Amino acid sequence: MPLHRLQQDLQAHLLNGSVEILPHIAQAPPLSPQSRLAIYRNAYVSRLTEALRSSFGKLHQVLGDEVFAAAAAAFIAERPSRTRSIRWFGHHLADFLARTAPYEAQPIVAELARVEWALTEVFDAGDASSLRREDLLQTAPQHWGELTFTFHPSVRTLSLAWNTTAVWQSLDAGLTAPAPQKSAAAVTWLLWRQNLQNHFRSVDAVEATALAWAMDGAPFAQVCEQLRHLLAEEQIPMQAAALVAAWADSGILIMG
Partner 1 sequence: MNISGFGLGLRPDHYEAILSGSPAVDWFEAITENYLVPGGKPLHFLQRIRERFDLVLHGVSLSIGSVDPPDLTYLAGVRQLADRFEPAWISDHLCWTGVDGLNAHDLLPLPYTQEALTLVVDHVGRVQDALGRQILLENVSSYLTFTSSQMSEWEFLSEVAQRADCAILLDVNNVYVSSVNHGFDPLQYLRALPAARIRQIHLAGHSNNGDHLIDTHDAPIVTEVWNLYADAVALFGAIPTMIERDDNIPPLAELTAELDIARRISRAGLTKVA
Nearer to partner 1, 122 or 240 (CB): 122
CB of 6 to partner 1, least distance (A): 6
x-or-dash string of contact with partner 1, 24-63, rule CB under 8 A: xxx-x-xx-x--xx-xx--xx--xx--x------------
Phi-psi region at 126: left, alpha or beta (left = phi > 0; alpha = psi -120 to 50): beta
Number of residues that bind partner 1 (CB under 8 A): 48
Which amino acid, 158?
A: L
Q: Is 86 in the site for partner 1 (CB under 8 A)?
A: yes
Contacts 24+ apart (CB under 8 A), 218-222: 218/148, 219/145, 219/146, 219/147, 219/148, 220/144, 220/145, 220/146, 220/147, 220/148, 220/149, 220/244, 221/144, 221/145, 221/146
3-state secondary structure of 24: helix
Q: Is 124 in the site for partner 1 (CB under 8 A)?
A: yes
From the list 111, 113, 130, 102, the residue with the least C-alpha distance to 196 is: 130
Give the separation between CA 134 and CA 249, rounded to whole angstroms.
10
x-or-dash string of contact with partner 1, 188-217, rule CB under 8 A: -----x--x---------------------
Nearer to partner 1, 30 or 141 (CB): 30
Q: Is 80 in the site for partner 1 (CB under 8 A)?
A: yes
Positions touching partner 1 (CB under 8 A) are 1-4, 6-8, 10-11, 14-15, 23-26, 28, 30-31, 33, 36-37, 39-40, 43-44, 47-48, 51, 80-87, 89, 122-128, 153-154, 193, 196
